[in-house]
Amino acid sequence: MKWIFAYGSLIWRPDFAFVDRRRVHLPGFTRRFWQGSHDHRGTPDAPGRVVTLIQDAQASCHGMAYLINDEAVFRALDHREKNGYRRTSVTLHPEQPALAPFEATAWVAEPGNFAYLGEASIREIAEQIATSTGPSGRNDDYVYELAKALAAMGIEDPHIMALNDALRAIATNTEHTENRV
Ligand code: BEZ
């Protein structure tokens, strides 16, 4: 049996069976919408943005670990995350202090991969996400769902909350503009 680290959509929508799950954090990394999405929340011509893990010695990325007893889940995630992600081994720290750190697999899109978009201002990222959509749905819904799931877990992630707020503001402005026409 092996653990998987979920820090994006797998937090609110794990599409596999799991034996156990645990709230965890990964010291030394932060969650950022810096990876391009050609095949889920955007297209090759108009990529969306999805999360990856970025090294940051001051940070810790909070998420969920799932215990998996089926190797097919790993192969399915390799396929699903083929747009620039690769499997990496990470050491997760359970939120429950009585539990010891343990190893898990995470899918990480590292700087320099073919779909990597990298750092941009919250405004630029939000404007790109607001107009992107792909086979898995609207890019802004991905941010809203992630923000909701993190809030439900009591996780404060300033990057995600700022993006959530920027997207809500863009949606409100768009509504007002459309109502005036
Ligand atoms: C996730 O945790 O949802 C995830 C993020 C990026 C790649 C694979 C899974």
| Statement: residue 114 has pLDDT above 70 | yes
Say how many domains are in the chain: 1
C-alpha R_g of the chain:
17
Please state whether beta strands 137-138 and 133-134 pair in parallel, antiparallel, or not at all (unpaired): antiparallel
> For position 99, which CATH number holds?
3.10.490.10
Reading the block at residue 75, the tokens are: 């192969």
Nearest protein Cα to ligand 1, atom 5: 8
pLDDT in tens, 14-62: 999 999 999 999 999 999 999 999 999 999 999 999 999 999 999 999 9
**Mean model confidence pLDDT for the chain:** 96
- Specify the pTM: 0.94
Nearest protein Cα to ligand 1, atom 4: 8
| Statement: residue 11 has pLDDT above 80 | yes
Secondary structure, 3-state, 15-74: CCCCCEEEEEEEEEEEEEEEEEECCCCCCCCCCEEEEEEEEEEEEEEEEEEEEECCHHHH
Q: Which residues are catalytic?
A: 81
CA of 77 to the centre of ligand 1 (A): 9
pLDDT in tens, 62-98: 999 999 999 999 999 999 999 999 999 999 999 999 9
Neighbours of 114 (CB within 10 A): 9
Reading the block at residue 83, the tokens are: 């747009």
Model confidence at 180, pLDDT cuts 50, 70, 90, reads low
| Structural domain containing residue 62 | 2-180
